[in-house]
C-alpha cells in the first residue's frame, strides 16, 4: 500500500466493502471518509487525537444508569437536534419534536390522570392540562404521557443522591376517552446542564454557557402513531434564543399563567398562588 494520506483513507473505506448489511457498509464507509477529512482539514496531531480519545473515555466513565453523558455530548454538539430536524414528523402536521435529553428514565411511576407528580419537589405549584390527538383531529384515548422535569433548584430527581430510587417531578399517565390529561407539578426554571463532567468542561473551556431554558419533557405514545419526544418551554425565558442543546422550537414555547390562591381548575382549593399551562399535542400516524 502506498503510504500517503489518500491511500490510507481509500484502504480504510475499502476494508468495509464486504459488509453484508448495505446500510452498515454505507455508514461505516461514510464515517471513515468524513473522519479522515476532519483530520486532514484541521491537520490534527497525534497528541490532539490522544486528548480526544481521553475526552471520549472520560465521557464514557461519566455514564451510569441515571446519567448519559454521551447523550449530553450529542445534544451540546447539535447532533441530536440535527437528527430530530431531519426526521421530524411536523411536516405531516405533528407537534414538533426536540431532544430526549440525558435524564429520561424508564421507571417513571404510573399515576392516575390528574395526579400530583411533584412528590415534594421544590417549586411553585403548576397545573398542566393537555390533549393528545391525531393529525386528522381525532382524540387519542389511552395514550401514554411520560413526563419529567427539573425542579425549582434546577435538579432532576436522579441528580439528588438523597432520593436514591425515589421519583419526583416525574410520572406516567394515560389520556382519557377524549384524549385529555392533567397533572400537578412544579413551575420549571432555567438550569445549567451538569458541568462536573467532561462535556461541561468542554462547554466552559470553549466559552459556551451551559444553560437550558425552563421546560417540561414529554414522551407521548399511542397505538398506530409514532412516539413524540418533545418539550414545553416557558415563555419569556432568557435562554430561549441560546439553549445550550439547540432544542427550542417556537411552536413549543407556551404561556404559563399565574393565579392567586383559591379554587384551581380541577376543583381543589390552593392556599398559595399557582400556575397553569395548557397545550395540545398532535401525533403522526405510523
pLDDT 10s digits, 23-47:
999 999 999 999 999 999 999 999 9
Query: Number of folded domains in the chain?
Result: 2
**Is 189 among the domain residues?**
yes
Q: What are phi and psi of 26, to 5 degrees?
A: -60, -45
In this structure, the answer to whether residues 269 and 154 fall within a common structural domain is: yes
**Is 68 among the domain residues?**
no
In this structure, the answer to whether residues 142 and 267 fall within a common structural domain is: yes
In this structure, the answer to whether residues 56 and 135 fall within a common structural domain is: no
In this structure, the answer to whether residues 134 and 204 fall within a common structural domain is: yes
pLDDT 10s digits, 206-265:
999 999 999 999 999 999 999 999 999 999 999 999 999 999 999 999 999 999 999 999
Residue 152: give the domain boundaries.
73-283
In this structure, the answer to whether residues 121 and 238 fall within a common structural domain is: yes
**Is 55 among the domain residues?**
yes
In this structure, the answer to whether residues 142 and 227 fall within a common structural domain is: yes
In this structure, the answer to whether residues 128 and 158 fall within a common structural domain is: yes
In 3D space, the residue among 143, 121, 149, 120 whose CA is nearest the CA of residue 130 turns out to be 143
CA atoms within 13 A on the CB side of 236: 5
In this structure, the answer to whether residues 30 and 163 fall within a common structural domain is: no
Contacts of 205 (CB under 8 A, 6+ apart): none
pLDDT score of 269: 97
**Is 191 among the domain residues?**
yes
In this structure, the answer to whether residues 57 and 92 fall within a common structural domain is: no
Claim: this prediction has a pTM higher than 0.85 = yes
Give the rounded distance of the alpha carbon of 57 from its chain centre: 23
Q: What are phi and psi of 268, to 5 degrees?
A: -75, 155
In this structure, the answer to whether residues 30 and 107 fall within a common structural domain is: no
Task: Read off the pLDDT of each residue in 261-276 and give the average, rounded to a whole number.
Answer: 97
Amino acid at each position: 500500500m502506498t503510504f500517503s494520506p489518500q491511500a490510507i483513507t481509500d484502504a480504510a473505506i475499502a476494508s468495509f466493502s464486504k459488509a453484508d448489511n448495505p446500510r452498515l457498509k454505507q455508514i461505516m464507509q461514510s464515517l471513515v471518509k468524513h473522519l479522515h477529512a476532519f483530520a486532514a482539514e484541521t491537520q490534527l496531531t497525534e497528541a490532539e487525537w490522544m486528548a480526544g480519545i481521553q475526552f471520549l473515555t472520560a465521557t464514557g466513565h461519566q455514564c451510569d444508569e441515571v446519567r448519559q453523558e454521551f447523550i449530553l455530548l450529542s445534544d451540546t454538539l447539535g447532533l441530536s437536534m440535527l437528527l430530530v430536524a431531519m426526521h421530524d414528523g411536523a411536516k405531516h402536521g405533528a407537534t414538533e419534536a426536540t431532544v430526549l435529553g440525558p435524564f429520561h428514565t424508564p421507571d417513571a411511576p404510573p399515576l392516575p390522570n390528574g395526579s400530583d407528580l411533584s412528590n415534594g419537589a421544590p417549586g411553585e405549584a403548576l397545573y398542566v392540562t393537555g390533549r393528545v390527538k391525531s393529525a386528522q383531529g381525532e382524540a387519542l384515548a389511552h395514550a401514554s404521557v411520560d413526563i419529567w422535569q427539573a425542579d425549582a433548584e434546577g435538579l432532576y430527581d436522579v441528580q439528588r443522591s438523597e432520593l436514591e430510587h425515589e421519583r419526583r417531578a416525574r410520572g406516567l399517565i394515560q389520556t382519557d376517552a377524549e384524549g385529555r390529561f392533567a397533572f400537578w407539578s412544579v413551575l420549571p426554571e432555567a438550569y445549567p446542564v451538569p458541568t462536573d463532567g467532561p462535556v461541561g468542561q468542554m462547554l466552559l473551556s470553549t466559552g459556551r454557557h451551559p444553560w437550558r431554558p425552563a421546560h417540561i419533557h414529554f414522551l407521548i405514545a399511542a397505538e398506530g402513531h409514532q412516539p413524540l419526544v418533545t418539550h414545553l418551554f416557558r415563555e419569556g425565558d432568557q435562554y430561549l434564543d441560546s439553549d445550550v442543546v439547540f432544542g427550542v422550537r417556537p411552536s413549543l414555547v407556551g404561556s404559563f399563567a399565574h393565579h392567586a390562591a383559591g379554587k384551581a381548575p380541577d376543583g381543589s382549593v390552593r392556599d398559595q398562588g399557582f400556575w397553569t399551562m395548557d397545550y395540545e399535542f398532535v401525533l403522526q400516524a405510523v
